[in-house]
Structure 1
Amino acid sequence: MAIDSAARPQTLMLMLFGDVALERDVCVFSGSVIDALGRLGVSEHATRSTLSRMAGRDLLRRQREGRRMYFGLTGRATAILLDGRARIWHDGAVNDRWDGTWTLLCFSLPESMQRERHDLRSRLAWAGFGPLQGGLWIAPGAVAAQGIVADLGLGAHARVFHARADELTDIAAMVRDAYDLHELGARYREFLDRWDGRPEAADPFAARLGLIAEWLDAIRRDPRLPVEHLPADWPAVRAQKVFRELEQAYRGPASAVAAGLLDVRPLAPA
């Protein structure tokens, strides 16, 4: 199975550790990681480099057992994986339980704060906000936007509100104005092009790892817009169904492969 451009070695490795080690207090032999990612076409050199880089970034920690080196999750990596798990299994890609509320954030920054403006816009987009007009950004539901503002030290330049749209407001038009629906939908169409109608996997372990990594990449920046105000053929609906059906089909066979492939040990206290 070749790696999709979205599924970089670090993403695949995080998915592997999330599947094997998250909340299990175990570490994985580096040779097992090389064998596992090799099934997805990642070279030994790339895997070793990624292990070293992730350890340097406090995402993995080393544990020596005799002549073997094992790697386990750090607190930082655990937080990232728990967030990813919530996005995949709790939140999902289809927001069909929207309560009708919006979070509004308005800001005004002087020209001398261009870098701060860029950082704020990037953080807002990551949190699901879209620019409605001028310095007004919106996101569906309750979003902890005040924390974003505080983290960037911009409390004096931004205000946060929670509101509902008036009945005269065309919410679907507002969504189209604030978000690039073509770009958002393209991620799901690409996922479907790759996975919809996929024949039975010859290697369910590799297929499942790649499936989860690519699905997380597709949904990680989805603002989870209310589905009732999106186009009737919104591709996330079909894509989520395909993902969940394939993940369930691969899960048992992949676990059987992993049991014979991965060498794990209890993780020593930090």
Structure 2
Amino acid sequence: MPPDPTDHPPRPQTLLLMLLGDFVLDRDVCVFSGSVIDALARLGVSEHATRSTLSRMAGRDLLRRQRHGRKVYYGLTPRSTAILRDGRTRIWETGAVNDRWDGSWTLLCFSLPEAWQRQRHDLRSQLTWSGFGPLQGGLWIAPGEVNAGDIVTGLGLEAHARVFRARADDLTDLAAMIADAYDLNEVAARYRSFLDRWEAAPPAADPLAARLRLIAEWLGAIRRDPRLPVEHLPSGWPAAGAQKLFRDLELAYAAPARTAATTLLDLRACPGGSVVDGSSR
């Protein structure tokens, strides 16, 4: 799961993932480490921090190294490709406003041994990422049809969890239920914070840096939004306005950012390639 950049300036890893998502994902190319250093320097990230980030990500199977002569290039791994595709879906396809809810809910109930603190933390983290909120005890809910089975199976908890699909009865106050299961103030605050930062942003002197930061902060705003049905959210919910602002700014930055990247980034075809150790600018 991508890191959460909402409450603080985006971390170098987040910015690097945005760069790779824009210019490397699904292109069978790798990017020269020196290009990455130059790109992140435009966002105020030091060379040392960028090199450390590249090394850590390679160690965590998020990047693969490929040497060409004296240069080292970095490409995506299956793990980072999956992360970036998920983020792309969240940003460009799913969106922040759920105005087509079919009235269904996914319910997941689980019971884990008291000593399984790590497993409980991992399960709750992945449920939150997937739009679930705790209704009571070990019962979590999410709007619509969510493939919770993959979460449970991936954590090896099949024997400790059950998944159901359901619809609420007329006696259920859905707005109250949602308010109980989700921290709506926190979700709304993320969108308002995004609006506050970007509505007042001056014209971008560096469209590439602005675009990477914009996408990173938008992903931070939406990554923990469970996309609750808009008809059951408080009036004045800020997601729609924030999404419009994001899309307007992203469109304005897109072409000049690509022009800057064409000059800045040293990309090389590397659909396979060997993994190497070490680094060189």
TM-score (norm 1): 0.94
- In the other structure, the counterpart of 1:15 is 18
Match of 2:197 among 194, 197, 219: 194
Distance 2:120 2:268 in 1: 46
1:36 aligns with 2:39: yes
The DSSP-based 3-state class of the residue aligned with 2:101 is: coil
Q: What do the CA deviations read for 1:25-49 (whole angstroms, capped 9, x no partner)?
A: 1111111111110000000110111
Map 1:91-110 → 2, pairs under 5 A: 91-110=94-113
Distance 2:155 2:57 in 1: 26
Match of 2:77 among 65, 74, 79: 74
Q: Percent identity?
A: 74
Displacement of 1:97 after TM fit? 1.3
1:242 aligns with 2:245: yes
Map 1:1-270 → 2, pairs under 5 A: 5-270=8-273
Displacement of 1:112 after TM fit? 4.0
Displacement of 1:4 after TM fit? 7.8
Distance 1:96 1:89 in 2: 16
Distance 1:97 1:56 in 2: 41
The amino acid of 2:186's aligned partner reads E
Indicate conservation of the 8 Å contact 1:120/1:152, yes or no.
Answer: yes
Unaligned runs of 5+ in 2: 1-5, 274-281
- In the other structure, the counterpart of 2:278 is none
TM-score (norm 2): 0.90
The DSSP-based 3-state class of the residue aligned with 2:166 is: strand
The DSSP-based 3-state class of the residue aligned with 1:77 is: helix
Displacement of 1:143 after TM fit? 1.0
Q: Give the root-mean-square deviation of aligned CA atoms.
A: 1.7
Q: What do the CA deviations read for 1:55-114 (whole angstroms, capped 9, x no partner)?
A: 111111112222221111111111111111000001111111111100011223343444
Distance 1:193 1:76 in 2: 34
Aligned length in residues: 268
Is the alpha carbon distance of 1:113 and 1:57 closer, same or farther for their aligned partners in structure 2, counting shifts above 3 Å?
closer
Is the alpha carbon distance of 1:163 and 1:249 closer, same or farther for their aligned partners in structure 2, counting shifts above 3 Å?
same
Indicate conservation of the 8 Å contact 1:211/1:247, yes or no.
Answer: yes
Indicate conservation of the 8 Å contact 1:6/1:217, yes or no.
Answer: no
Distance 1:245 1:46 in 2: 31
Q: After alignment, is 192-201 or 238-247 more displaced?
A: 192-201
- In the other structure, the counterpart of 2:277 is none
The amino acid of 2:241's aligned partner reads R
Q: After alignment, is 73-82 or 245-254 more displaced?
A: 73-82
